[in-house]
Amino acid sequence: MDVLVLGGAGQVGTELQALSWPNGVTVHAPDRAALDITDADSVAAALAARDYRAVINTAAYTAVDKAESDVVAAWRLNALAPAILTAATAARKIPLVHVSTDYVFAGTKPDGAYAPDAPIDPQSVYGASKAAGELAVRTGNPRHAIVRTAWVVSPHRGNFVKTMLRLAAERDALTVVNDQHGCPTSAADLAAALATISQRMAADPDAPSGTFHCVNAGDTTWCGFAEAIVAGSARRGGRTVPVKGIPTSAYPTPARRPANSRLSTDSLTAAYGIAPRPWQAALDDILDRLVGPVSEGVSKP
């Protein structure tokens, strides 16, 4: 069974390649030089070259603030590329698993988590381009799984955990937004879920299609997340610094951030039996790899 992974150099793509896939499954993750997913002919040729049983698209333009001025590039990768992939996979009857984002929602829900069928209302170029990509997938290939996620972190590439660890080593205090709520997500846990979905869809033509959410269980604020990162690093011998909460208004950015990014994973559990673990446990695994094991005599919370 051949599986095509797009965006293999990113956090989730890296973890997909690191997974222990079942015997007989071969993962192919061509880089951008080998496959331009914004070129329909290149995509068609790539899919014709092997008998792919599933395609997982993790590629995206994720520079949220830069997208506000780099509109064409954002829409090219987040909307055009999924449309091309959808047409090509549908033509060959290959299931497509496509990763999307919490930014398709306005983030103004007063409390609770967004369900997959909640009305979308993106407030940024990034969010709008990802919403367009979703629409292309949803309408173009009946065998699809759109998997929205949020606040993805890992030991790879640039992400919030690595940034907080760096700043904690450089500064005497951190100031972090405390009025944006969401669900931290381990790239490794997300990759495992994508692998489960893709294998099920490849094996079973009647496997559930649709839109799902995959984030680690529980929620926090960016400030609360930063506090957990600093505390976890300290248990491993890292530097302890105070973390001060500030409102979003004190940290203006070109793109508007959702105040509520909580995502409900109930439908993912019902359809595929995937019940994500708490984000705190996932963070511990990441810190073990980035900082080291918990210092002797110090227990994990």
Which is it for the CA torsion 235, 236, 239, 245, positive or negative?
Answer: negative
Strands of 161-252, DSSP E: 174-177, 181-182, 185-186, 210-213, 220-221, 243-246
Task: With both helix axes pointing from N to C terminus, report the angle between 187-203 and 279-290 in degrees, rounded to the nearest 10.
Answer: 110
**Which tokens hold the place of 282?**
């996932």
First CA to last CA across the chain, in angstroms? 41
C-alpha 247/C-alpha 179 separation (Å) is 6
Show Cβ contacts of residue 194 under 8 Å, excluding neighbours closer than 6 positions. Answer: 12, 16, 56, 58, 97, 99, 147, 214
| 268: three-class secondary structure by DSSP | helix
**Which tokens hold the place of 22?**
């079942």
Known catalytic residues are: 126
Other Cβ atoms less than 10 A from the Cβ of 281: the count is 16
C-alpha 14/C-alpha 187 separation (Å) is 9
Residue recorded with tokens 């290959």: 94
**Do residues 53 and 4 lie in contact, with contact meaning Cβ atoms separated by under 8 Å?**
no
